[in-house]
Amino acid sequence: MKNRRGQSFEELLARQLRKKEVRFLFDERRFYLQVAHLISELRAKVGLSQLELAKRARVTQPLIARLERGDRQRTPTFDMVFRILKALGYSLELSARADPRLAA
């Protein structure tokens, strides 16, 4: 989709993502959304409502809703994510890989 200046959204995004600070914020937001999607997907797979999951994890239903939205205003702790995954019957494995965009 081209805008009035003949530049597509994809071109604009690619140009903006070359800026280090924009790329960092973009990647940070993507991380929160990945966690949100994972929790939501696993909850649906297990067949629990947000309220049922909240009770199992000993948290509030609004917290589960915020987490599933990827709300970064109240960032979940590792402890919180761990408890929620355990309540769903899952464990968490972490891995890290070098980001080629940040190579020196």
CATH at 55 = 1.10.260.40
**Inside any domain, residue 104:** no
How many domains are there within the chain? 1
Are the C-beta atoms of 31 and 38 separated by less than 8 Å?
A: no
**Inside any domain, residue 35:** yes
**Inside any domain, residue 102:** no
**Inside any domain, residue 3:** no
**Inside any domain, residue 43:** yes
Residues spanned by the domain of 19 = 9-93
Least confident of 27-31, 33-37, 98-102: 98-102
Are the C-beta atoms of 81 and 92 separated by less than 8 Å?
A: yes
What pLDDT is attached to residue 87?
97
**Inside any domain, residue 45:** yes
What pLDDT is attached to residue 5?
67
DSSP annotation string for the chain:
-B-TTS-BHHHHHHHHHTSHHHHHHHHHHHHHHHHHHHHHHHHHHHT--HHHHHHHHTS-HHHHHHHHHT-GGGPPPHHHHHHHHHHHT----------GGG--
Least confident of 29-33, 69-73, 77-81, 92-96: 69-73
